[in-house]
Amino acid sequence: MLNKVEKTEQEWKAQLTPEQFKVTRKKGTERAFTGKYHDHKGKGIYKCVCCGTELFDSDTKFDSGTGWPSFFAPIAPDHVTEESDRTLFMVRTEVLCAGCGAHLGHVFNDGPKPTGQRYCMNSAALDFEAH
């Protein structure tokens, strides 16, 4: 079971860079091909930039060609939550950190085997810890 992290907007603003705050707390999206992890090849664990929850293992990362870091599965199903996102005149599935509710990105059903899923994440929402 994850410990829930709750902070005020001012506490998040003090902890995060403006880009991290915009993406994680205001449901923003970084521009394609601009994030530090879109082409990252290191071995390790991608964690939530807000609370440190382990989200994705580098072994599940793949090049989706979209310009954002993409993974075919979270490190554990209960480390992320999903919600319906009806912004931008379409229906998508938003992915949130289960530890703090940070917006991470979206998941799509066009990924590789074995899951067929593409967790399309924002680099600004992630920290990387090498093995």
Closest CA to 38 of 125, 130, 116: 125
Please tell me the total number of residues recorded for the chain in this structure: 131
Q: Which of 50, 51, 100, 120 is catalytic?
A: 120
Which element (helix H / strand E) includes 10? helix 9-15
115 C-beta neighbours (distance < 10 Å), count: 15
Q: Give the phi and the psi of residue 97 in degrees, each rounded to 5.
A: -70, 130
15 DSSP assignment: H
Cα–Cα distance measured from residue 71 to residue 86, given in angstroms and rounded to the nearest whole number? 22
Helix, strand or coil, per DSSP, at residue 57: strand
> Is 51 a residue of the active site?
no
Enumerate the active-site residues: 120
